[in-house]
A and B are shown apart, each in its own frame.
Chain A
Amino acid sequence: MNKVTLDKPTPPSHDQLDRPFVFGEYDHLVGVATLPGHADGQTPDSDRPAIIMMTPGMLHHVGPYRMYVQLARGLSKEGFLSFRFDLSGIGESLAVGTSGTSLERATSEAAAAMDLLQSEFGIEKFILFGLCSGADDSVHTALKDDRVTGAILLDACGFATKRFYWQRACSHYLPRVFKPFTWRRSLEKFLPAEDTPASLAIGDDIREFPDRDQAAKEIQSLVDRNVKMRFVYTGGVGHYYNYENQFRDMFHDVAFNDSVSWKYFQKFDHVATLCEDRKLLLTDIVDWTKNTFGTH
């Protein structure tokens, strides 16, 4: 039988670093703040930016395989406050019929999260972390809100370059030529597809990238504003990004300075399923944050 169960529930322990919040104009958004590890009940350092995590696709604020919780705890150890929250209609947050495009809605709700942290902890600068569509939302928010001083963008938008096609042929198609099951899968595409039950249909969450010139203009605008950015790509988006310095080639016309860096994890999948991949990915993010925005 359970050895740790108490007869009655007791309040959370004092070293609890996580604090849940309900916010938004209609009290419909839910998020969890993780305080810096040193805080222990004290007010976090308001001079340090807080990290706001934007949810990917339809996943909720715990993140794929708990990635966001693990990141929050890693950042906490380095003295950063982070806040993970659900966009309306996703995870714990309720849909209340707010209008506008999904990008506009995400931007408005991210702003509400910043307002909350500002009023609760006096923090005025923010770093946005986003995976997949969360990265798109982060860029859009950063462009609209001057409080954003940093962005960590995991598998953000990408565009094929000449070298991309060569790499695609060599490192994607060639290895598969000798795999019987990839042939089988290719042939299966010509067979009638089995009906997916309606209850299991994939949501319409297709990402819409801006065109390359627009994306370059947006990045340039953020560079000019001295927003620190870390672009991280994985092998999970091999259909549009597949070599180490593709980012440089994609945006060859952007006048980068040292505020922008990028990294490519070639073997990883899109959500870092393997525990060792996730550990490396999170270490990279925490290290970059620490090195860019200073240790405590």
Chain B
Amino acid sequence: MIPAPNNNMPDALVSHVPGFVGAARNHCDSNEQLVDWPTLFERQCELTPAQTAIVFEDESVTYDELNQLSNRIAHYLLDSEVVPEQRIGICLDRSIAAIAAMFGILKAGAAFVPLDPEFPADRLEYMIDDADISHVICDETYKSILPSSVSIVTPGEDKWSRDIANPDISIAPDQLAYIMYTSGSTGRPKGVQIEHRALAAYSYADASEYELQSTDRTLQFSTLNFDIAIEEIYPPLLTGSTVVVRPRNRSDAQNELSDIVEKFDVTAIHLATAYWHEWVDLMRATGARVPESIRLMVVTGEKVSTEHFRRWLTLCDHEVQWFNAYGPTEATVTSTIFKPSADWQGDNMPIGKPLKRYTAHILDAELKPVGKDQTGELFIGGPGLARGYLNRPDLTEKAFVRWNSPTGEVTIYKTGDLARWLPNGDIEFAGRIDHQIKLGSYRIEPGEIEAALNQHPATLESLITFDSIDGKKFLIAYVAHGDNDVTVDELFGHLKENLPAYMVPVRYLLLESFPKTINGKIDRKALPSPASSVVAGAGNYVAPRTELEKELAEIWTEVLNVPQVGIHDDFFSLGGSSLLVTRVITRLSSQLNQEIPVRDFFANPTVASIARHIGRLNQSDQASTDDEHEISRAIRATLPRIQPQFFQSGDASLFGVHYAPVKNKTSHAVVICPSYGHEYARAHRNLQQLGVQLARQGCDVLRFDYAGTGNSTGDEQTSTTDDWIGNIRDATSFTRELTDCERISVIGIRLGATLLSNCDNLNVDLRIYWDPVCHGKQYCEWLEDIHNNTLRNLTRFPVTRKASATPQAFGFELPKSRKQNLSNLKLAEPGFGCKTALLSSEGYERAEFAGQPGNGWTHQWHVVDTRDAIYWHEPTYTERAFSSPESFEAICCLVGESQ
């Protein structure tokens, strides 16, 4: 029998730990001595060691296993001389390892800082710099986006310490636990510092209020970069219950969330309000019911639509505890909750009463409590308050104010939200004091977007606000540009380069100057209506042609809240998100009686393509030839110009294909050096696709064939590695002249990388060696092995074949002189004064690399490990073409960084 931990929750928070470091500092005004979070978790592990703690896809771990893994990570960090409160970045997707990493960091006395891989590089760099992060625990996929200044650790069994015991260190309750970055009005995000006691106080209050039980299974749905993730992970794991991590791959089911809930018997869900609205609509549209397993539903982040709450009630066939939660990050996730009764009626959903140990105060401008029915500013107090903003004492002082309460002076957090007391003691939210915008799960300071807009040379002044239709908010950018010429697309592109996607407005109003009040401030009331705004990308508008396209465009227009949608406009470029995809699918189902999986929508992101897809699904595709042409032309417009040509290198004419960007051209060119022999053909398609992708990113790209290979002229048998090294040099010069680009990157794959490593005086900005061949001699021997095995093993030939008089290796002549020449080739030590990256795919024999002379070079390279399976040496795959999305992403990032 597993005890119900919430029975003794109040006491559990009070420290019984010897050596506890005295009273909490800063904002903790309680006399209670609260314990650190790891202590609470370890207590729980002792109570329920064999209970399942986390389920992720087909994997699961018990409390004991999770604790041991966290301990191993903690010991690893302690062995790495991590000191108390040292900030460790985490750049991880949802997984068991990610949760263990967070716990390991806490157990080592350090503090974790979530780093969202979707953020632009300079924003991540700022956060890393601001938080003074020296180590980042990072998924392989995201390594390439992090600056080289940080030490990167990828989760892996072999990495962590073998020591599974709880670390014997003392963690003070007021020690820093994590830093969560939120939007900042000055143009830079600000780091909210949460201490252990705040995390512990919040976790216990949450578990207690929601009556979490050991039988609960809470869904971990959010990315780890929001504090909803804290809510989903920390309180449940103090109660012996199970956290179910959302699977990596998108479900094919029309209602993905219900599918996950049913598949994993989820009992508790915490959702951002906007997402919950979508889920309710989707269930309603598809005739689905609230899954039977759910007993707790917590909605948080934005104002709840009472209409959706009523819809929810009609969808429930069983009793579900439903809560509206409210809380700023500065007060650790949630501060107040409201649980409406079954017969609750009202126009505004209250935000309820404070959690246990939290306090709430509604004060006027002089910090005096307002009367009943009067509106004032909401302040939050209690042990859940943050320490303050990292490196921002000025902001901390403004937001965390000292206040004379009836019981003495305490610190309270100024939320910036307006509120009023209801007669029954509940709080009702009444809007914002400032212009801060809450968009989905994100809290956005308009000033941060304005600061980025103002950096554009054409901008004189800017102002960010929002428009709202049917409860859905959209950012609107007003830009005063005087006589400067600028287009909406230019501003949109500028912001996309500098801000996370969720902060980039899609709608713009360009004005010569702003109307001003008598005090010289922007007169907001005199600004033109958002309805006259222009959508980024509207210059390419193509009107719908068929009834289906018209209906689809109407749905998109309403869902995206844009004035118009052209049939070739990309849903995601118009501000669409996965959340809005759900809404479109709901509408398709209810309005058009057309059910399509989310995955199909992602594959067809324009009105034209989804209309064609639907037509084909219904076998009623009546697309005319003209339609087909238009769609093909639209697709072609997104692809680069191809220019195949020959250029001279020594005595040979080398064949090269130049991919020229059709738009967003940068001053960066990339040269791609292929491999040799059968690997040339194996990698051809993949390198071609890489070229196209880089060109779409704005780079000029040249792929070429060495002398005597591919389409190039030159003697196939006598061309030497020196000739080929010269070919790389000439291809680079040719690219420089052809494109007039200032910056050049060169990518070599396999033998191409080895040749590139031996190519000095290239004067390029970046070299990428992708799975380089380290020893020419071993490479030749391996080629001969494959060849000889093929002759004998009756898989390729109908009869066994004997080695012929023609020296050859798997399809190509390999005379003695060439073999000798190739055998002498070795991967050369880096040292050309430019950034050099080693890209290593799954199945690449890194051991071979490590065995190179000058062992230990890897410290000189920027190493990017990917999970792309290529398996160069695996006989089964010797001729198999491959795809390598992670490598592409890493290459695009590396090239992008060096622009």
Contacts and interface: CB of A to CB of B under 8 A. Distances in A.
A203 B796 CA distance: 19
A181 B793 contact: yes
A235 B797 contact: yes
Interface stretch (B34-42, B56-64, B549-557, B807-815): B807-815
Interface in B686-744: 688, 692, 705, 709-711, 713, 716, 722-723, 725-726, 729-730, 733-734, 737
Interface stretch (A16-24, A130-138, A158-166, A250-258): A16-24
Interface string B867-892: 01111000001001111110000000
B763 to A, nearest CB: 13
- Which among A2, A60, A203 has the highest number of chain B CB atoms within 10 Å? A2
B816 interface: no
Interface in B621-635: 623, 628-629, 631-633, 635
Interface in B846-899: 868-871, 877, 880-885
B642 A58 contact: no
A60 B655 CA distance: 14
A175 interface: yes
B646 interface: yes
A238 B795 CA distance: 12
A22 B636 contact: no
Contacts of B609: 97
Interface string A186-230: 000000000001111011000000000000000000000000000
B642 A27 contact: yes
A175 B798 CA distance: 10
6 contacts: A13-B648, A18-B711, A27-B636, A96-B636, A172-B798, A197-B871
A69 interface: yes
Interface stretch (A41-49, A272-280, A285-293): A272-280
Interface of A: 1-13, 16, 18, 20-22, 25-28, 30, 32, 58-60, 62, 64-66, 69, 90-92, 94-99, 171-172, 175-176, 179, 181-182, 197-200, 202-203, 235-236, 238, 242, 266-269, 273-276
Interface of B: 609, 623, 628-629, 631-633, 635-636, 639, 641-651, 653, 655, 657, 678, 681, 684-685, 688, 692, 705, 709-711, 713, 716, 722-723, 725-726, 729-730, 733-734, 737, 790, 793-794, 796-799, 801, 804, 806, 808, 810-813, 842, 868-871, 877, 880-885
A176 B881 contact: no
A203 to B, nearest CB: 7
A274 B804 contact: yes
Nearest to B639: A94
A2 B648 contact: no
B713 A59 contact: no
Contacts of B657: 30, 92
B710 A92 contact: no
Query: What does DSSP make chain A's interface, helix, strand, loop or mixed?
Result: loop
Contact of A20 (B646, B692, B723): B646
A172 B795 CA distance: 12
A98 B632 contact: yes
Contacts of A4: 649-651, 723, 726
B799 A96 contact: no
B881 A203 contact: yes
Contact of A197 (B628, B709, B790, B869): B869
A268 to B, nearest CB: 8
B711 A69 contact: yes
A18 B712 CA distance: 9
Contact of B649 (A6, A28, A238, A269): A6
Main secondary structure of the interface of B (DSSP, over half): mixed
A26 B634 CA distance: 10
B723 A2 contact: yes
Contacts of A181: 793-794
A273 B813 CA distance: 11
A64 B681 contact: yes
B502 to A, nearest CB: 30
Q: Which of B644, B798, B813 has the most CB of A within 10 A?
A: B798
B623 to A, nearest CB: 7
Nearest to A95: B635
Nearest to B807: A275
Nearest to B809: A275
Nearest to A22: B642
Given A28-B639, A97-B631, A91 B644 contact: no
Given A27-B636, A66-B709, A96-B632, A175 B799 contact: yes
Nearest to A237: B798
A275 B796 contact: no
Contact of A60 (B684, B726, B734, B883): B684
A66 B726 CA distance: 22
A16 B798 contact: no
Given A13-B648, A20-B655, A30 B642 contact: yes
B801 A32 contact: no
B90 to A, nearest CB: 27
CB-based closest 8 A-B pairs: A4-B650, A2-B726, A197-B869, A5-B726, A20-B644, A235-B798, A65-B811, A9-B734
A11 B877 CA distance: 39
Given A179-B794, A199-B883, A267 B801 contact: yes
Given A97-B631, A197-B871, 14 more contacts: A1-B722, A9-B734, A16-B713, A20-B655, A22-B643, A32-B711, A95-B635, A200-B877, A202-B880, A266-B799, A267-B797, A267-B798, A274-B801, A274-B808
